[in-house]
Chain A
Amino acid sequence: MNIIKRFSLGLLITLFLSISANADKIRIGTEGAYPPWNSKDSSGKLIGFEVELAWSLCRYIGKQCEIVEQDWDGMIPALLSRKFDAIMAGMSITAERQKVITFSQGYADEVASLAVMKGSSLEGLDTPEGINLSLGGSDVKKALKTLTGALAGKTVCVQTATIHQNFLDSGDVGKVNVRTYKTQDEVNLDLASGRCDAALAAAVAFTDYAEKSGKAVVLTGPTFSGGAFGNGVGVGVRQGGDDAIGQRDAELLRAFNKAIDQARKDGVISRLAIKWFGFDASM
């Protein structure tokens, strides 16, 4: 009995020490499966635009950081249950997500697009180059009508719990057969195998896949922004509160906003964006 008591006391102390050692570290959750935003190299190390940006932001904040891997579909629940303190996972700032968490200012933005395999009947749709759903207008309406006609009865694949899924579910392009996947990799695989007539995701996710796999994936239709597609990608943080923990969350949000300001001014975000996206996606 004595041994058990001593052992559990020792365990408790170690646990307490490890918790207090971690208390000052900012833990940042990312998916590691959405290149070029965040992904993993062949040795399993996290790489990508947001991984490097996270390290930079932490230097600006002046605290130690730890990057934690988390499946996309559990990202927000994991933040809420304090598995980590911030999300940097290509997560767009949307009203729906802002009901449960809060976002820093946006640090990068890039458009979404439909992709099909070369030779598909959906190639070369008669739409403007890009539409902004927040602006509206006759151009947007006409483009959505064209898309509604073209996509009727087609299977469109998206990653689950994304702005792309929200857009298809919103009914803006009529009733399409939406198929949802856990990761973007699986969307790409099923697009290439022909199970999906089209897929919707960040345009760079498709160009990155086409480049790396050599598959004949091509973008089609307009690029999308605004509306269901949110207002850029920001750092997701828990909503602050009046208690001590809530104040720490609010403090963290302020720290991230300040760090993003500084990183933008120093040209760090632009430099990293050009490195990973091939164009300046910073905002």
Chain B
Amino acid sequence: MDLSGSQTRQTIITLGLLSGALILFTGAVGMIAAFHEREIVRDFITLGQLVLLITPFIFGYTAANRLGMTGEAPIVVLGGGIIIGLLTALPTTIMLLFNSDEFRFLLDWALRLAPFVLATAIAWRLYRQNVETLTVIGSWLLVAVLLGIVTFSLALIFEVKGELRSVLVNINRDWVEVVTFDHRKDLMRGIFIFSLASVAAGFLGSLCYYVPRTPRRALFYGLSVTLLVGAFGETVRLVLQENLERDTLNQLFRRDTLRGNAALGLLVVSTVIGYLWAAFGDRARQGFQNLGGQQRQTTGMIGTVLFVALLLMLPWLIGRTLSDVAVTIGLFVLMGLGLNIAIGLAGLLDLGYVTNYAVGAYILAVMTSIGPLGLMKGTFSFWMVIPIALLAAMFAGFIFAVPVLRMRGDYLAIATLGFGEIIGKLAISDWLKPLIGGAQGVQAIPKPIFLGTELKNPEQLYYIVLVACLITLFVSIRLNNSRTGRQWMAIREDEDVATAMGIDTARAKLLAFTLSAATGGVAGAIFAAKVGSVFPNSFTVFISINVLSLIIVGGIASNPGIVVGAVVLIGLPELLREFSDFRFLLYGALLIMMMINRPQGLIPTKIVTHEIRAGVKAKAAAGD
């Protein structure tokens, strides 16, 4: 195999090690073992195993794409896939050996040798760069001593603690079980199988580069649909339960997992559909674009009507459990749309959005509760308090906005974060206990009553949330195109220029904060009514971060983006319980990756995309 080009070698090694590090990391934080609990296809593959296999596959494909682009021979490209597979397995294999009783001594030796090897490597690099000899020796000593301290401490920790597991809690039996494909007893065999699977996945990934475009896309569609249906087996089953006979269902599913033959059938069907779409989809889109304005408008109208009809019928289609999830998603859409006014339109990074949510929830709780803390004892109904909660939240938004009007960017973000924390601490304090119950919160909040029926099921509450979302959406679209919206955008771009243009920035910012607070209050009030009680623990910084993440991921200032962001970021962890432990880990990673690779979000607006491009161009022009 010819791997002479250093560029080629570097690509393969970097991607391979990255993939390996990813596998080891997901294992060490417990993701792989947790995901193993969820079977995608019965007796065939679990989500944990899928992660193990899909990582080398994707990295193999990426490497093949890069190498193929530079015109490497197929043998190099495919060989690269194999090497990536091997490198993917390497870190995890080393960890497996360290973890086993027989090869424990390897860990000790590695810790003893690491300082010298690494120090020598660094010194060698410096030497090659023609650094003075004295400096090279000095840096060798420094690195060796510092690393020596670390490895000595690590050796001490593992010596005293015994097993790796007592420090790294997730390097445990479950993890070994998964990565060795159930060969924990026979470790060597397990490692062999794991490496082989990883190599095969890497090889297949690089092979995919040579599959023609249309079948490749078809296969991609088919596999993703099958894997998604499998992973969300529970959800899909719940949906189908509403609409299918029990016997038919049992042929497709066994409890919550897809049966093998059902999965195969689904794969074939979705691949065929995917093939048709890949082959003729472009032509269909072309045809749509060739339609006259009138016809296009009609098609668009029909689409909208169908979509609204679907939204209206959703609770019947998906059943109770999923309606509950839909309500949660709806609440976050509501908050996302609200916060978007501040962040997306006016560019004010508000990290204390939870304040408004808490105000809304507590107002509703105190006003309607029939428990000891209720002020009105049932004289006020849900419908009367919703506007009060809205106004109260707007008032809170106003009050908190006044002091921060002069602040910009990052200072504003930290100050609002401070507000959020203050509210949290006040809610739990003894000081306000007589009013809002301290840590015990407020209980006995009655459900809303609409035309004599008590709306106690999520299917019914769903409509309240839906209506609130639609109203907010309408207002937000109108605001976006209004004079105020333009003012906000001007402030977002450059506050000084906006002032110079004669915009009253203080007024515009105040308006943005106040309006953005309103939906937070409504969401809080609906949340309180849904749960039936309010605890201070529900109002942490995590709410603010959740809302922020869904805006960023969906696309700043983009309404469809926010809906998609909410469905993905809120819905996913609710539906895949295995995800919920790693929710903020993934959010964090997602925020970093989005900011680096796609700052405009998944579904960006034209303006934001344009601005980011313009920014990049300006940066390039400035030579930075």
Pair from one complex: no
Binding site for A on B (CB under 8 A): none
